[in-house]
Amino acid sequence: MKQLRRAVLSSSLALFGLLTASACDSGAVDNGDGAGAGPSVPGGSSAGSSSLGHAGATSGPGAGTGGSSVSTGGTGNGAGNSTGSSGASSGGTANGSGGTASTTGCSDTPPNNGDTCAHAVQYGWCSQSWLGSSCQQSCGKCSGGTGSMGGTGSTGGSSSGGSTGSAGATQGGGGQPPVLIDGKDGWATRYWDCCKPACGWKANVPGGTNPVSSCSQADQSLGGDYNSKSACDGNGPAYMCGNFGPWAVSDTLAYGFAAVNQGSDFCGRCFQLQFTGKSHNSNTDPGSQSLAGKTMIVQALNNGGVDGTQFDLLIPGGGVGDFNACSQQWGTSDLGEQYGGFFLACQKSNGFDYAKSKACAAAKCQSVFSGKADLLAGCNFFVNWFGAPDNPALKFKEVTCPAAITSMSGLHR
């Protein structure tokens, strides 16, 4: 059974009209006001505007284009004590100092944000203080010998010689992934309906891949029980787990999950969302303006009635849409607007004054999610890092999923 939802677009669109939007696994909601699809069902169709079924076809787009190529490089060529110059070519081999580098006492511990050292180099984290002693080898910080790692190039393709090689030129500095130069135009919405995600069914994920685990009403993982009915489908026992909310990696980078419309083979694919500082609804939204220069990487867990350029972000308190399992799971009817959640309700009660509406939404996060740490963190993300925007505009491109995301979802491609 398929159902279309009407997305009530926050702020501006709340005044000027309705837009069909958002969907989800089991009922994604349009950002600030997106509408979602229906409950997820195994290998069949969802009660939304696009099918959730599709028995995990392995054809179609792969895990993403990723960033710049990774170079393993070779041993360096040149004078033993040469300082060397940074290699400018992406994925190129190093032309550093000769000899064999000493890596005694040099570790390559992954970053404390759960990501990989390869991404630390690619995203320019090597020069940031928060990385600490992580990724010393990949970042070329090992001392001793006549060259870092024997002159091998680091990811991103650039390298330097000398006794303390560096990670070379970075792309999209400040800890962000490389800046998108060929991304497509898109926009973000928000929802959280507490339903089991579409990618929680075996029929919807690629062969050989485990689905996303669901949780009980008490937010306890159901583990490998992938056949439990969704709470949005006849009061089944399977709900969205509370830890699937977004989180900040740095001041300019965040990770999360979303509902998308990217074909039938969507589960587990990741996308880089680079915010433009504008709103899909208007050019004067302060929340969207605050996102300029910020980036999210999200993994697809749901599909449904969103359009092909829309990303319906999983954000607690973002609105339940047509299917509501949250009242039962959370034990409250204080959910804000059905399409738009806490923030749209606060906008309406505060005359769409941005500062007052944002403060109101922050207070709502605290009152509704008291004692629910994961949900509270995801809700606070919306008003803090995300800036409480109205359907922000963005550029997007499929990328390789960071390890921190796949370790959270358990969904690998």
How far apart (Å, rounded) are the C-alpha atoms in residues 381 and 186? 21
Asked if residue 135 has pLDDT above 50, the reply is: yes
How far apart (Å, rounded) are the C-alpha atoms in residues 241 and 395? 28
Question: Is 331 or 130 the better-scoring residue by pLDDT?
Answer: 331
Average pLDDT over residues 73-102: 37
Percent of residues, the chain, with pLDDT higher than 70: 64
How far apart (Å, rounded) are the C-alpha atoms in residues 34 and 36? 6
Asked if residue 36 has pLDDT above 60, the reply is: no
pTM greater than 0.75 (yes/no): no
List pLDDT tens digits, range 348-383. 999 999 999 999 999 999 999 999 999 999 999 999
Asked if residue 163 has pLDDT above 50, the reply is: no
Domain ranges of the chain: 11-58+178-409, 68-176
List pLDDT tens digits, range 194-240. 999 999 999 999 988 899 999 999 999 999 999 999 999 888 999 99
Task: Find where tokens 């990949």 sit.
Answer: 138
Contact call for residues 34 and 4 (beta carbons, < 8 A): no
Catalytic-residue membership of 193: yes
pLDDT of residue 49: 33
Q: What are phi and psi of 152, to 5 degrees?
A: -70, 145
Sign of CA dihedral 125, 129, 134, 138: positive
pLDDT of residue 148: 39
Question: Is 389 or 19 the better-scoring residue by pLDDT?
Answer: 389
From the candidates 25, 33, 115, 193, which is the catalytic residue?
Answer: 193
252 CB burial (10 A radius; 0-12, 13-18, 19+): middle
From the candidates 285, 307, 312, 390, which is the catalytic residue?
Answer: 312
Asked if residue 179 has pLDDT above 50, the reply is: yes
List pLDDT tens digits, range 394-413. 999 999 999 999 999 999 98
Which residues lie closer than 8 Å to 364 by C-beta, 6 or more apart? 317, 334, 336, 342, 345, 346, 379
Task: Find where tokens 């070329």 sit.
Answer: 140
pLDDT band at 272 (very low <50, low <70, confident <90, very high): very high
Three-state SS letters, the chain: CCCCCCECCCHHHHHHCCECCCCCCCCCCCCCCCCCCCCCCCCCCCCCCCCCCCCCCCCCCCCCCCCCCCCCCCCCCCCCCCCCCCCCCCCCCCCCCCCCECCCCCCCCCCCCCCCHHHHHHCCHHHCHHHCCCCCCCCCCCCCECCHHHHCCCCCCCCCCCCCCCCCCCCCCCCCCCCCCCCEEEEEEEECCCECCHHHCHHHCCCCCCCCCCECCCCCECCCCCCCCECCCCCCCEECCHHHCCEECCCCEEEEEEEECCCCCCCCCEEEEEEEEEECCCCCCHHHHCCCCCEEEEEEEEECCCCCCEEEEECCCCCCCCCCCHHHHHCCCCCCECCCHHHHHHHHHCCCCHHHHHHHHHHHHHHHCCCCHHHHHHHHHHHCCCCCCCCEEEEEEEECCCHHHHHHHCCCC
Catalytic-residue membership of 251: no
What b/e readout covers 290-329, taking b as 16+ CB neighbours within 10 angstroms? bbeebbbbbbbbbbbbbbebbbbbbbbbbbbbbbbbbeeb
pLDDT band at 101 (very low <50, low <70, confident <90, very high): very low
Closest by CA position to 293, among listed 390, 381, 394, 388: 394
pLDDT of residue 170: 26
List pLDDT tens digits, range 75-87. 333 333 333 333 3
Percent of residues, the chain, with pLDDT higher than 90: 50
Domain 11-58+178-409 superfamily per CATH: RlpA-like domain (2.40.40.10)
Asked if residue 90 has pLDDT above 50, the reply is: no
pLDDT of residue 30: 39
Average pLDDT value for the chain: 74
Average pLDDT over residues 77-103: 37
pLDDT band at 9 (very low <50, low <70, confident <90, very high): very low
pLDDT band at 105 (very low <50, low <70, confident <90, very high): low
How far apart (Å, rounded) are the C-alpha atoms in residues 358 and 386? 11
**How large is the greatest C-alpha to C-alpha distance in the chain, in angstroms?**
72
Facing residues of 299 across strands?
A: 257, 270
List pLDDT tens digits, range 242-263. 999 999 999 999 999 999 988 8
Average pLDDT over residues 62-85: 35
Tally the residues of the chain: 413
List pLDDT tens digits, range 50-59. 333 333 333 3
